[in-house]
Amino acid sequence: MTKIAVAKGDGIGPEIMAAVLSVFDAARVPLDYEFVDMGKWVFDKGYSNGMTPEAQQVIETNGILFKGPMETPKGKGVKSVNVTARKTWNTYANKRTFQTLHGVDTVFSKAGIPIDITIVRENIEDTYGGIEHMLTHDVALSRRFITRPGSAQVIKYAFEMAQKKGARRITCGHKANIMKLTDGLFLEVFYEIAREYPGLKADDVIVDDLCMKLVSRPDLFDVVVLTNLQGDIVSDLCAGLVGGLGFAPSANIGDHISIFEAVHGTAPDIAGKNIANPTALLLSGFGMLRHLGLMEAAAMMENALLYTLESGIHTGDFGDKATRSVNTTEFTDAIIANFGKLPANHPKPIIADQQATPTHFRLSENPMLESKDLEPVTIVGVDMFIESNLQPAVIAEKCLHHTSDLFKLVTISNRGTQVWPKGSSFTNLVNTYACRFETIGEVSATQVDILELYKRLSADFKICSTELLNKWADKKAYSLAQGQ
Ligand code: NAI
């Protein structure tokens, strides 16, 4: 028996979790459940991360968490337990599979266009770091971290998974045409890793074009890997393609701990009524069983679910409104009664169980700390973000007083658009400017040089933020302002 941690969740969580576990029990799935306390009532008891220390201990020991949706209390300054769990245990890959389910009518199922898309979303970095500051009363800043090792981790997972599932194509969705350094780094790592998988067709699509193509020809895509925020949006778009959130399973995969949950939330509007649709959590559960190598039971139960959907049995949130909907318990009983039956469309092959690779070892070192990039780095300037409601020419004049033999003022930008030395009187301004100082002749500066410039400039301006301008060998490690 494999031990896993189970958290029932809030709202409809306990109902749909009970439904899924009753299907598992009827199929005699060899799992031992250790129920843990996480969610709203744990926050209410005063645990600020939404889980008890015992829950954390059990999850870290077992390495697998199967969870229902959880509510984040509003306005108490607490962070979502769902996000905390994903980050604490470094579940860096969020895998969501979207497939045509016969019996769940969508535009594409009616048009006979089959969908089978797996979205792999980076789960830790990007703007989801939540590193945000108000620079002035008018200007909020979010820091977006995209890292080489973080990107490599999730992209490597996506390629491995795509290869294992015999994917036709793996696509990187990105916005590297605009965000040349952040999305550019993600895309660069994608193609570096693609070289290790010559048998897989790897390509890339700009994320807006990807969205357009997904809603017009979703059948052309197989595995798509994206950064966190873009992946979040694109995966909900894909949920819409196959019938909505009630059919969207999710796996948060890490090297040590993995979390399996439905994409939807606690559905407070229907909680306690025994009418929720357990399909998304069931599909997440099947993903978990496959992760654990329990292939046969997963395929048998998934076929029973697909057969049940094909036969028109449905909860109130989908299906033919002209036929009576069933409640959660009746839906679950119907699946159990259909054990052993095969759906007419795309039955899952029954394959033998596999040995799961044990993964949940503790970190004894942080392998991602070591950068393999050994190019020499020099500081060649600094961006000083200042608060001011003066016009660019006046700001420039003040800044020029503080330049020296070492630094020259190169450009001033506002919201990323150059406004000095050249600019347009049609550019609207807000009260944070970025003043870029570079060293004359790109000679190397020290942090003390930067501090001295900071000190001089602070006589005239409030400096809200600074960013060093680094150069690696002869490559600038910073972007240019629009128009620079
Ligand atoms: P929601 O997904 O809970 O509900 C949106 C709509 O979909 C509602 O009308 C709901 O009745 C319906 N719905 C959702 N799941 C359903 C199911 N299985 N069967 C039938 N209908 C279903 O999203 P909402 O209302 O934005 O969030 C409610 C709470 O859930 C919030 O506290 C939010 O923080 C939390 N949440 C938790 C997540 C997690 O634990 N991973 C994910 C998303 C939201």
Q: Looking at residue 373, what is its pLDDT?
A: 65
pLDDT tens digits, one per residue of 457-470: 999 999 999 999 99
Tokens of 440: 């004359």
Q: Which fold would CATH assign to domain 377-476?
A: Alpha-Beta Plaits (3.30.70)
Tell me how far the alpha carbon of residue 431 lies from the centroid of ligand 1, in angstroms: 39
Q: Is the pLDDT of residue 361 over 70?
A: no
C-beta of 245 in contact with ligand 1 (< 6 A): yes
Mean pLDDT calculated for residue range 405-431: 95
String of DSSP letters for 149-215 = HHHHHHHHHHHHHHHHTT-SEEEEEE-TTTSTTHHHHHHHHHHHHHTT-TTSEEEEEEHHHHHHHHH
Q: Is the CB of 269 inside a 6 Å radius of any atom of ligand 1?
A: yes
User: Domain 1-91+253-371 class?
Assistant: alpha beta
Bridge pairing between strands 140-142 and 116-122: unpaired
User: Average pLDDT in the 304-326 region?
Assistant: 93
Give me the mean pLDDT over the 89-106 stretch. Answer: 92
The arithmetic mean of pLDDT across residues 19-43, rounded, is 96
Q: How many CA atoms lie within 13 A of 396 on its CB side?
A: 16
Max Cα-Cα span within the chain? 83
Question: What is the residue extent of each domain of the chain?
Answer: 1-91+253-371, 105-242, 377-476
pLDDT at 103 over 90: no
Residue closest to 200 by CA, chosen among 214, 190, 187, 185? 190
Q: What is the mean pLDDT of residues 314-336?
A: 94
pLDDT, mean of residues 91-97 = 95
How many A from CA of 268 to the centre of ligand 1? Answer: 7
Question: Residues 139-148: what's their mean pLDDT?
Answer: 96
For 152-205, the pLDDT digits (tens) are 999 999 999 999 989 999 999 999 999 999 999 999 999 999 999 999 999 999
Residues 6+ apart with CB under 8 A from 12: 68, 69, 266, 267, 270, 271, 276
Q: Does the beta carbon of 277 sit less than 6 angstroms from any atom of ligand 1?
A: yes
Paired sense of beta strands 258-262 and 249-253, if any: antiparallel
Confidence of residue 362 (pLDDT cuts 50, 70, 90): low
Single pTM value for the model: 0.91
Q: What is the position in ligand 1's atom list of the atom closest to the CA of 261? A: 41
Confidence bin at 75 (pLDDT 50/70/90): low
Average pLDDT on 276-300 reads: 96
Question: Which residue out of 266, 274, 331 has the highest number of ligand 1 atoms within 8 Å of its CB and is therefore the one to mutate?
Answer: 266
Radius of gyration of the chain (CA): 26
Percent of the chain scoring above 70 in pLDDT = 97
**In testing the pocket of ligand 1, which one of 250, 264, 332 has its CB within 8 Å of the most ligand atoms?**
264
Tell me, yes or no, if the two domains 1-91+253-371 and 105-242 fold the same way. Answer: yes
User: Which CATH code for domain 105-242?
Assistant: 3.40.718.10
Mean pLDDT of all residues in 40-56: 91
Instruction: Mean pLDDT check: name the lowest of 28-37, 41-50, 159-168, 226-235.
Output: 41-50
Residue nearest atom 27 of ligand 1, based on CA coordinates: 265
Q: Are 325 and 315 in contact (CB under 8 A)?
A: yes
